[in-house]
Every structure is written in C-alpha cells, then in structure tokens.
C-alpha cells in the first residue's frame, strides 16, 4: 500500500501539489489544490488512480463536503478520467469543464470507447473507465468566465484550444499562476526540453500557437504543467514551447512530404528528438513516463492528421 502522504507536496502557502500516481508512477500527472475559502482542485488524473487523490485530500483534512471545485483542463482520461469518482466522494464539488467537453463527463460512454480503441489493453491497466458525473455537479464554461473562490480570490478560465479543441486553462491574477494543462507541452522529470503534446483526435497547430501567444500576453509568474510541475521562468518557457512546437511540426511535415505514412513520420520524429530526455539521466522511469503519456507515435498521428486536414482546407492555416 502506498502512503498517501507521499503524494502531497506543499508548493506555496495556499497551493498544494497532489501527485495522482498515474499508472503507479511518480510525477506523471499533477493535481493542484488551491487553498482558498472555496478550495479548488485543478486536474484529478485518471479513474484508475483516483483513490490516491481522494486519500490525499482526506489526509489534508478534507471532509466529503469540503471541496468546492474540480477544474479539469480537458477530458482526456489522464486528466479527467477520475472526475466521476471524485465527484461522488466530494458531493458538494462542482466539476468545471469546457462547454465543448462537458457532455462527455455526464455520459462518458464515447470517451471510454474511444480511449479503449486508442490505448487497447493499456486503457484498463493505466486509465480505467471514467464514471459519469451527475449533470447537477457539472459547470460547463466558456472563455473568460470567472470562478469565485471566496475571500476575493478569483480564477479566470480561458478557452485554450490546440492540444484539444475543448482545452481550458485557469489563470490566478493575484499570484500570476497559470494552470496550463497540456497546452504548453510536457516536461517530465529528467527531460531537457519541453515536448509539445500534439495527439489525435483534434490537435490543431494554428490554435496551439495562438494559445501560447495568448499566454505570453498574460505575463504569468509561473506555469503549472499537468505533466509535470512548475516552470518558474514562464516567458522563456513559452518561447521554448513555441520553438519546440515549430521544430516538431517542421520535422513531421518534411517527413510527411517524403512518405505520407504514419510510421515514417513517427520514426523521423523519434530520431530527431531522441535526446529530449537528457542522456545522462539516471532514472529508469524517465522513458516509461514519457512514452506512456506523450509517445512519439501519438504526436506523429496528431500532426499528420492536422496536415492532411489543412491540405483539404478543413482547418485554418497556421502561417497567417
Ligand atoms: Zn491531453
């Protein structure tokens, strides 16, 4: 039995990190608990590991009535899969989700089926089925809505598509903290650089760039990534995220022009970005974490899909 206290990390006086222990691995998906009069958890991780998160909240002194909000950046199962179970454990909590994704939390049938298609046996081993969130516990939000956390604390909710069309982020104007979900990319322990997260089924390069540009105009003090932890020099990190996104897109596009074939694009990307994990990192889990979450294959499939749609004129061009 893992000790739930291990999962809790004080990050600031009013911010606590909860390691969701996704797939039984440390530091894959982070939850962030804002300790305001209306306590708010940002991300809960997959259903499979939700007991770790619930136990961590109990260990922090939270009774079933105490959690006010769960905000999920998007409905991919590594972020929101545990929402139904968490909402039942904390029946006063409102689950805050993009209006473009909300219906899938109320009825996760399609969400689970598509995850099963994509992940195969990994689905049951790592994610598990998302259980429904009752309609009354869901708040579907659009860009610019504000969550009142009490005591003058507010969280601004931003529609930040790119990684997924229903992605939202939360900005705390008091602290300058930006809870960015997957929109900036991933930087797991042992990684040298940010890796963009460009998965199917709806990664959009133009929107992803626009979201990063928007973050720069907010001048955040810290970016909190779901995978994993803080980036304390956010403006440099946003430059890096834009530069890495361009590098991945260019590499994938060139490979696609050579052979319109997923394997070729994935192999080309894998070769070019083989050193995203620092070669001297002595951490056997480093590669496992990254492949699980943000495999080259998945990034290749998302980019390829985007290029094909763009060629057909079905998505906006990113060069404007
Ligand atoms: Zn995602």
The number of C-alpha atoms within 13 Å of 215 and in the hemisphere containing its C-beta is: 36
The CA-based diameter of the chain, rounded to the nearest angstrom, is: 58
Q: Does any domain span residue 269? A: no
pLDDT tens, position by position, 238-270: 999 999 999 999 999 999 999 999 999 999 999
- How far is ligand 1, taken at its centre, from the CA of residue 145, in Å? 22
Q: Does any domain span residue 107? A: yes
- How far is ligand 1, taken at its centre, from the CA of residue 25, in Å? 18
- How far is ligand 1, taken at its centre, from the CA of residue 76, in Å? 5
Q: Which two tokens stand for residue 314?
A: 């079905």
- What pLDDT was estimated at residue 318? 63
Q: Does any domain span residue 296? A: no
Region 182-211: what's the mean pLDDT? Answer: 95
Read off the pTM: 0.95
- How far is ligand 1, taken at its centre, from the CA of residue 116, in Å? 15
- What pLDDT was estimated at residue 319? 56
- How far is ligand 1, taken at its centre, from the CA of residue 173, in Å? 25
The rounded distance, in Å, linking the Cα atoms of 218 and 56 is 32
Q: Does any domain span residue 84? A: yes
Q: How many residues does the chain have?
A: 320
pLDDT tens, position by position, 279-320: 677 787 887 888 777 789 999 999 999 999 999 998 877 654
Reported confidence tier of residue 6, pLDDT bands at 50, 70, 90:
confident
Q: Does any domain span residue 314? A: no
- How far is ligand 1, taken at its centre, from the CA of residue 152, in Å? 31
Mean pLDDT across the chain, nearest whole number? 94
Q: Does any domain span residue 273? A: no
Radius of gyration of the chain (CA): 19
pLDDT tens, position by position, 202-213: 999 999 999 999
What domain range includes position 222? 4-241
Residue 94 backbone phi and psi in degrees, to 5:
-100, 130
- How far is ligand 1, taken at its centre, from the CA of residue 233, in Å? 23
- What pLDDT was estimated at residue 182? 98
- How far is ligand 1, taken at its centre, from the CA of residue 314, in Å? 22
Contacts of 230 (CB under 8 A, 6+ apart): 11, 222, 223, 224
- How far is ligand 1, taken at its centre, from the CA of residue 131, in Å? 18
- How far is ligand 1, taken at its centre, from the CA of residue 312, in Å? 25
- How far is ligand 1, taken at its centre, from the CA of residue 212, in Å? 16
Q: Does any domain span residue 136? A: yes
Q: Which two tokens stand for residue 169?
A: 């982020």
Q: Which two tokens stand for residue 271?
A: 């070769």
Contacts of 91 (CB under 8 A, 6+ apart): 64, 65, 137
| Domain of residue 234, CATH code | 3.60.15.10
- How far is ligand 1, taken at its centre, from the CA of residue 163, in Å? 7
Strand ranges (E), the chain: 8-12, 15-19, 30-34, 40-42, 69-71, 94-98, 138-141, 146-150, 153-159, 168-172, 177-181, 222-225, 229-231
The rounded distance, in Å, linking the Cα atoms of 292 and 296 is 10
CA 183, 186, 187, 188 dihedral sign is positive
- How far is ligand 1, taken at its centre, from the CA of residue 164, in Å? 7
- How far is ligand 1, taken at its centre, from the CA of residue 263, in Å? 22
pLDDT tens, position by position, 71-125: 999 999 999 999 999 999 999 999 999 999 999 999 999 999 999 988 888 899 8
Reading phi first (left if > 0) and then psi (alpha if -120 to 50, else beta), residue 70 is in: beta
- How far is ligand 1, taken at its centre, from the CA of residue 80, in Å? 9
Q: Does any domain span residue 297? A: no
Reported confidence tier of residue 5, pLDDT bands at 50, 70, 90:
low
Provide the domain count of the chain.
1
- How far is ligand 1, taken at its centre, from the CA of residue 247, in Å? 20
Confirm if 299 and 269 have CB atoms less than 8 A apart: yes
Contacts of 56 (CB under 8 A, 6+ apart): 4, 5, 7, 8, 18
């Amino acid at each position: 039995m893992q000790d739930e206290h291990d999962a809790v990390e004080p990050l600031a006086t009013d911010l606590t990190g909860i390691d969701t222990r996704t797939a039984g691995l440390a530091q894959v998906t982070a939850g962030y608990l804002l300790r305001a009069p209306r306590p708010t958890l940002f991300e809960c991780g997959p259903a499979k590991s939700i007991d770790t998160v619930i136990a961590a909240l109990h260990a922090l002194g939270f009774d079933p009535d105490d959690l006010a909000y769960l905000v999920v950046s998007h409905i991919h199962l590594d972020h929101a899969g545990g929402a139904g179970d968490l909402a039942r454990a904390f029946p006063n909590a409102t689950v805050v989700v993009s209006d473009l994704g909300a219906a899938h939390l109320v009825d996760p049938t399609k969400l689970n089926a598509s995850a099963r298609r994509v992940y195969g046996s990994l689905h049951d081993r790592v994610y598990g089925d998302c259980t429904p969130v009752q309609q009354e516990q869901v708040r579907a939000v659009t860009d610019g809505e504000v969550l009142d956390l009490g005591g003058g604390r507010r969280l601004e909710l931003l529609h930040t598509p790119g990684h997924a069309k229903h992605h939202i982020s939360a900005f705390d104007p008091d602290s300058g903290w930006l809870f960015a979900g997957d929109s900036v990319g991933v930087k797991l322990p042992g990684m040298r650089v940010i890796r963009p997260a460009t998965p199917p089924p709806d990664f959009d390069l133009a929107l992803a760039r626009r979201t990063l540009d928007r973050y720069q105009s907010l001048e955040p003090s810290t970016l909190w990534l779901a995978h994993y932890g803080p980036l304390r020099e956010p403006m440099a990190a946003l430059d890096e995220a834009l530069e890495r996104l361009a590098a991945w897109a260019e590499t994938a596009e060139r490979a696609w022009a050579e052979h319109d074939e997923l394997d070729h694009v994935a192999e080309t990307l894998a070769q070019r970005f083989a050193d995203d994990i620092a070669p001297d990192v002595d951490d056997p889990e480093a590669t496992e974490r990254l492949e699980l979450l943000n495999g080259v294959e998945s990034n290749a499939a998302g980019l390829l899909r985007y290029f094909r749609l763009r060629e057909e004129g079905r998505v906006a061009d990113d060069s404007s």
